[in-house]
Structure 1
């Protein structure tokens, strides 16, 4: 059986959410962060050379990296899912763009901010501009379509979800000036699969949807 290793309050919630959207059977293993370092505990680190989540096991396979895991699960367990538009779909390119934007831009920006804060410095203006541009880009995209993947919910939305929700619970960023994003998060929060996923992987932690 597919096993999903989830580190609490981390991007591995994406994998749990995907499995719930696809209606897959899977074994979920939860790990709490080390109370001092806030990093993964030794038993999770031992699973993969990068010592971070997400990690899945499928038979003899051990696989890390959110995008790789999502592509693997879809390709093996749900190749015909509507969560991934095909090349003839009008939303094909849009879906691909936002699917990769999630880690290549948005998560990278977030990690830069964490690193700067860790040394008690301020973001250099060019880097801060990169951050503000990204969030303005997200807001504008949701003024064009209901979902990042286009007219329908796709794996691009799942990939972006962590940065737009859980990650915001640990900074002071407000989205009150982003009506499109606020409306979008209401749509996401109403999804049964999202609610099931968060109840399983983050029990007692209310999703950050506003």
Structure 2
């Protein structure tokens, strides 16, 4: 059985959806973020040295990093729908979006989140003013532009498409679901009808609904 070490409000929710897509047996072990630092608890470091979710344990192995976990699970199950064979033309497209999610999409979003949190917590007033100006400048000159570029690219790609690659969900969708879900929750998909429609379609996907329900139940049971 696969065991997912899950941290609330983290990338690990993708793995639960993957489990549901594959219809495999799994268990969720829930960990809570530190109330002060918002970081993962020390217990995760006992599972894997990186100490960050998601972490998968299976067959006496501990595997970290979402992309590596996804590919490991798919190979263990022997599924070529979610990750087509290298002989299939769709293979490189699935791999591209899987890596784009973490390599190009997530870094500027995380940087934006951290910078804006810093701006909110800065004090006293004159320090807050200076930091706010600095953060706004950095966002305008770099991170904001990168986020806009990425979203424009995604919006164009999703024109006329239900899923990122092909007619059914693949690892591309598993990986891209998390950042787009986060942006949707924060109301940042306005003016991006294709991307917004994609996330709404995601919400109507039975396997995704099951995954989110089981995740919330596991988190509730652990609280």
Which TM bucket (shorter chain)? 0.7 to 0.9
Per the normalisation by structure 1, the TM-score is 0.87
Residue in 1 aligned with 2:124?
Answer: none
Please give the alpha-carbon distance, in whole angstroms, between the structure 2 residues aligned to 1:6 and 1:167.
21
8 Å contact from structure 1 (residues 3, 26) kept in 2 = yes
Residue in 2 aligned with 1:62?
Answer: 62
Residue in 2 aligned with 1:208?
Answer: none
Structure number with bigger Rg: 2
8 Å contact from structure 1 (residues 6, 53) kept in 2 = yes
Residue in 1 aligned with 2:5?
Answer: 5
Residue in 1 aligned with 2:210?
Answer: 196
The structure carrying a bigger helix percent of its residues is: 2
**4+ runs of 1 displaced by more than 6 Å?**
none
Q: Aligned-pair distance for 1:114?
A: 2.5
Q: How many residues align?
A: 202
Q: Aligned-pair distance for 1:100?
A: 0.9
Residue in 2 aligned with 1:116?
Answer: 115
- With 142-151 and 183-192 compared, the bigger mean Cα shift is at 142-151
- Residues 44-83 of structure 1: pairs in structure 2 closer than 5 A: 44-77=44-77, 79-83=78-82
The answer for unaligned runs of 5 or more in structure 1 is 206-210
Please give the alpha-carbon distance, in whole angstroms, between the structure 1 residues aligned to 2:167 and 2:88.
11
Residue in 1 aligned with 2:143?
Answer: 127
8 Å contact from structure 2 (residues 5, 55) kept in 1 = yes
Deviations 1:39-64 (A, max 9, x none): 11222232121111000111210110
- Residues 170-209 of structure 1: pairs in structure 2 closer than 5 A: 172-203=186-217
- With 103-112 and 122-131 compared, the bigger mean Cα shift is at 122-131
Per the normalisation by structure 2, the TM-score is 0.83
Please give the alpha-carbon distance, in whole angstroms, between the structure 2 residues aligned to 1:70 and 1:96.
11
Deviations 1:9-47 (A, max 9, x none): 100001111011100101111122111111112222321
Please give the alpha-carbon distance, in whole angstroms, between the structure 1 residues aligned to 2:201 and 2:50.
34
Compute the RMSD of aligned alpha carbons: 2.0
Deviations 1:134-160 (A, max 9, x none): 011111110053211233321100101
Please give the alpha-carbon distance, in whole angstroms, between the structure 1 residues aligned to 2:187 and 2:29.
30
Please give the alpha-carbon distance, in whole angstroms, between the structure 2 residues aligned to 1:20 and 1:114.
29
1:185 aligns to what SS in structure 2? helix
Q: 1:91 to 1:102 in 2, by over 3 A?
A: same
